[in-house]
Every structure is written in structure tokens, then in C-alpha cells.
Amino acid sequence: MAQDHWSEILKLDFVAGFDSSQDYSDLELSTAEVADLITAHRAYGVIRFDVATGGLFYSEDACNIVGIPPTEGSVNVADLLRHTHPDDVQLVSSAFPAAIRYKSGFHAIFRYQRDGEYRFLRIVAKWRDGGDAGELIGVIYEFYDHLRVAGM
């Protein structure tokens, strides 16, 4: 495929001050029930980047999505970037610093190699005040789970 096509698919968007909280009380649904409904269709992993320590933490599901063993500590970012498609490394590696600088959220779609084939992954994150310097929290999931292309 032409590079122009990929530039339309792979993107990075920043959202400043977006409030994603919703009131489900009129539907008589709890937040836990909504989360169960959303995650019933596909696996979502939870991520957290601690600005003060530079630690990137993945839930067990996030580790499974990218194909690394679950860990209690910070994941190895260099290992993650080695499996990211070479054309997408800059996109992924610039997303976190930019979101931290502007204290904003972002979403990024990128190609990630696992089990010999590239998959489209999406990270959706938002800024959260707290701790010593704040943090980014978010989810990661396989975006086009029906589309996997070997040798991309």
C-alpha cells in the first residue's frame, strides 16, 4: 500500500480538557456494568504512565495484548518500541511527551508486531493530576482485530 494510505489510518490526536465522564443513572446502569459491556467485545488493557518516575505500567490484559509476560513493575519501553513498526515509532514515542507537556489526552493508532504479524493497536489516554507530577492513564486494544498483515 502507498504511504499516503497509511498516513490516513495511522494518526495521533490530542484532546485538551475532554471530560469523558457520563451519567448512567437514568439507564439504571452502574459504571462496572458499562465497563463489562464495553470489554465484552474485545480485550482492553489498562495503562498508566507515572511522570515523576518515568514508569509505564501495563495491566495483565495490556501485557497479553502486546505479547509480553505480565509484570508487577514498569514495562520495558525499549522492548515495546522494538516491536512497533519502524514507520510508527516516532508517532508512538512522541505521544506521551506531548500529552504530558500540554496535560492533555491523546489517541494513537499504530502497527505492532506480535507472533510474526503486524496488528493495529490503539492507545487512548488522558491526563490525570495527582502524585508528584501527574500521570497519563488509558487503555490499549487491538483496533482492527480482523485485519492482520504479515510482512508489512
| Domains of the chain and any CATH numbers | 3-149 (3.30.450.20)
Residue 70 host element (H or E) = none
pLDDT tens digits for 3-55?
A: 444 444 444 555 555 566 677 678 888 878 877 877 777 889 999 999 999 99
Does residue 144 register a pLDDT over 70? Answer: no
Kindly give, in sequence order, each residue whose CB lies less than 8 Å from that of residue 14, ignoring residues fewer than 6 positions away. Answer: 98, 99, 102, 104, 105, 106
The radius of gyration of the chain from alpha carbons, rounded to an integer in Å, stands at: 16
Kindly give, in sequence order, each residue whose CB lies less than 8 Å from that of residue 110, ignoring residues fewer than 6 positions away. Answer: 10, 84, 85, 88, 91, 92, 120, 121, 122, 123
Output the pLDDT for position 69: 93
Percent of the chain having pLDDT more than 70? 80
Strand partners, 78: none
Does residue 73 register a pLDDT over 50? Answer: yes
Output the pLDDT for position 10: 47
Does residue 146 register a pLDDT over 70? Answer: no
**CA neighbours closer than 13 Å in the CB half-sphere of residue 14:** 16
pLDDT tens digits for 114-133?
A: 988 899 999 999 999 987 89
